[in-house]
Structures are given as structure tokens and as C-alpha cells.
A = this chain, B = another copy of it.
Amino acid sequence: MEMLKKACDGLSKIREKSPLVHHITNYVSVNDCANITLAIGASPVMSDEIEDILDLIKIANSLVLNIGTLNKRTVESMIYLGKEANKLNIPVVLDPVGAGATKLRTGTSLKILQEVKVRVLRGNMSEIKSLLGLSGNTKGVDSTEKMDDAEDVAILAAKKFNCTVGISGEVDVISDGERVVKVFNGNSILTRVTGTGCMVTSLTGCFLGAGCDGLTSSTAAYLIMGLAGERAYKESGDNIGTFKVRLFDEIFNINEDRLKEGGKVEEC
């Protein structure tokens, strides 16, 4: 119940402050990430050119690093900007898309985690396990791992990387190394829209930018995406195009009442 209240407070803060969320992200879901940031009430900016981002980060409230379509130039930008964000005390969320599937992705994620103080690490089970050296079993950017030991993995990763870790699954599991929170909202159709994971990462950035701590930010992001997905599905049924449209409608209109009514969050 405490987490649900914190998520509601965070949402109010986002709508009050409209934090500027800087993204270095992939070219697949970038438009959806910008639109979800606007839909929740924050302000997105996307740029990956070193000369440009040095100025932009000064006015940002949080930083999203997403390696979905990484290349040498953008990896360099991510590490550089992550360090700058640290100096300015701007919180960073990392999405290690496809870690485990390639050495470059695993290596880049680990390098960012080593050189940049990351506030939240958000990925699927395959990605998080691969970063812990427990498994490298990723099917491209999709998880192939079961969620049975998600709690243990989340705690382990949170301790190892000294940050909050959010693991996406049928039940989303979030830990800061001490506490564990589970979000039971969601609908499996979300996995049939590209970038819903990236969008959760962007939402996490919105909450971080509004001043929320890592555990609250990650939980609130999963909660909102899950609840919006449930509600959208009621309107769309098995119509994936319509579902995506309704998902944005729901994110735009999410509010405290709906969160309190529909949110299924459990603190362990």
C-alpha cells in the first residue's frame, strides 16, 4: 500500500514539474518513448551527438540510456553522458536491451554499470541474468528465461550493481537489494507490441526526473504500464493496432483513482 501511494505521489509530481527526460535510445521505439513521456506528463528530448548532449544534460531532470540499436558512436555518447549526469546528480536509468544475445550488448551494459552510477536497471530475465553471468540465453531482444527465481535475481543484481533492478515478466519484480516489490498488473498482449519494455524504461525516467527514488520509479512505471495495458485490452481485445492506440489513451488518462482502484502491488 505504501508503494501505491508513492506511485500516486510521483505521478502528481510528474504532472506538476513536467520533468525533462533526456534519451539516448534506439531508433525502433524512439517515437513511442517520446509519446509515452509526453502522455504521462513529462517532456522528452532525444539526442546522441556528444557536442549536443553536453548542453542538453544540464537542463535535464533524468537520463534514459537504452542500447536497443547501439553502435560505436552512441555507446561512446552513452558512457560520456552518463558520467556527466552523475556529476550533475541527474538520475540515470539503463535498459540493457538484448544483453546476453551479443558480447557487445552484454559488454556495453556492464561497462555502463561500471563507469556510470545507474539508479535503475530495467530489463527482462535473460538480460539481467546475463549481466550477472548466470546465463546468456537471450532470443534476440526477448527473454527465454523463467521467472521462478526472479526475486533472488533481482536482489542479487541490485546488490551487485548497487542500484534498483526491475525485471519484466508476467509478474514484474523490483528490488533495491533490500526490499522486493511485485507488480501483478499487465496483459500478455503487451509483449506483442515492440518497445513496451523501452516504454517502461522511459516511464521510469519520468518518475526519476520528478524526484522519486529508484524503487518507487521502477514500481510506478511497471504499475502504470501494466494497468494501462489491462484497461486498454478491455477496449481492444485481440486487436494489436487498436490495443496500442488505447494504451496511449490510458497512459494519458491514468490518475490516482485508477491506480488505487486497479493497482496490484505487493511488497515482500
A71-103, CB < 8 A from B: 71-73, 98, 101-103
How far apart are A83's CB and chain B's nearest CB, in angstroms? 18
Q: A59-B101, A252-B239 are in contact. Are A193 and B139 (CB under 8 A)?
A: no
Q: How far is the CA of A142 from the CA of B56 in the complex (A)?
A: 12
- In the complex, which residues of chain B have a beta carbon less than 8 angstroms from the beta carbon of A72? 49, 51
Report how many copies the assembly holds. 3
- In the complex, which residues of chain B have a beta carbon less than 8 angstroms from the beta carbon of A105? 52
Residue A246 at the chain B interface, CB threshold 8 Å: yes
Q: Which of B31, B70, B142, B249 contacts A194 (CB 8 A)?
A: B31
Residue A226 at the chain B interface, CB threshold 8 Å: no
Stretch at the interface among A40-48, A115-123, A174-182: A40-48
Q: How far is the CA of A227 from the CA of B39 in the complex (A)?
A: 22
- In the complex, which residues of chain B have a beta carbon less than 8 angstroms from the beta carbon of A242? 245-246, 249
Q: How far is the CA of A34 from the CA of B52 in the complex (A)?
A: 25
Greatest chain B CB density within 10 A among A34, A51, A241 is at: A241
Q: Is the CB of A240 within 8 A of B102?
A: no
Q: Is the CB of A28 within 8 A of B51?
A: no
Q: How far is the CA of A172 from the CA of B240 in the complex (A)?
A: 26
A111-161, CB < 8 A from B: 139-142
Q: Which residue of B lies closest to A51 (CB)?
A: B104
Write the residues of chain A forming the contact surface with B, with a CB cutoff of 8 angstroms. 20, 22, 26-32, 34-35, 38-39, 43-49, 51-52, 54-56, 59-60, 68-73, 98, 101-105, 139-142, 192-195, 238-242, 244-249, 251-253
16 more CB-based (< 8 A) A-B contacts, given A48-B69, A56-B140: A20-B139, A26-B46, A27-B46, A35-B240, A38-B193, A39-B240, A47-B102, A49-B72, A51-B102, A51-B103, A55-B103, A56-B101, A71-B73, A238-B253, A240-B248, A245-B245
